Amino acid sequence: MASDLDNPLSQMNSQQRIAAWTVGALMIFAGALGLLLYLPRVLQAHSPGYLSALGSVAAAEAALFTLGAALVAAVYVWLTHRLVKQSAAHREADLMLTLIDEYDGLRDDLQRIQSWYMESAATGVDPVERFRQAAQAEFSVDFSQLVDDARFSASRFFVRTRRLVRAGYLSETVVTQALDPSAIELFLTKIDPLDEAKAGAEYKSDDREFFQALLLKCTRTN
Return d(Cα 59, Cα 177) in angstroms, integer. Answer: 57
Return d(Cα 198, Cα 202) in angstroms, integer. Answer: 9
5 has a pLDDT exceeding 50: no
For residue 176, which of 206, 208, 213 has the smallest C-alpha distance?
Answer: 213
Mean pLDDT of all residues in 177-188: 94
pLDDT score at 138? 86
**Mean pLDDT, the chain, integer:** 78
> Tell me: the pLDDT tens digits for 22-40?
656 666 666 665 555 555 5
185 has a pLDDT exceeding 90: yes
pLDDT score at 193? 97
Return d(Cα 82, Cα 14) in angstroms, integer. Answer: 8
Domain spans, the chain: 4-87, 105-221
Return d(Cα 76, Cα 219) in angstroms, integer. Answer: 42
Residue 169 pLDDT grade (very low, low, confident, very high; cuts 50, 70, 90): confident
Half-sphere exposure of 164 (CA within 13 A, CB side): 18
pLDDT score at 12? 56
**Does the predicted TM-score (pTM) go above 0.85?**
no
The count of residues in the chain is 222
For residue 177, which of 112, 70, 77, 103 has the smallest C-alpha distance?
Answer: 103
> Tell me: the pLDDT tens digits for 120-151?
999 999 999 999 999 988 888 778 999 999 99
pLDDT score at 161? 95
Residues 6 or more apart whose Cβ sits within 8 Å of residue 143 = none
> Tell me: the pLDDT tens digits for 53-102?
555 655 665 666 676 667 666 666 665 656 555 555 567 778 888 999 99
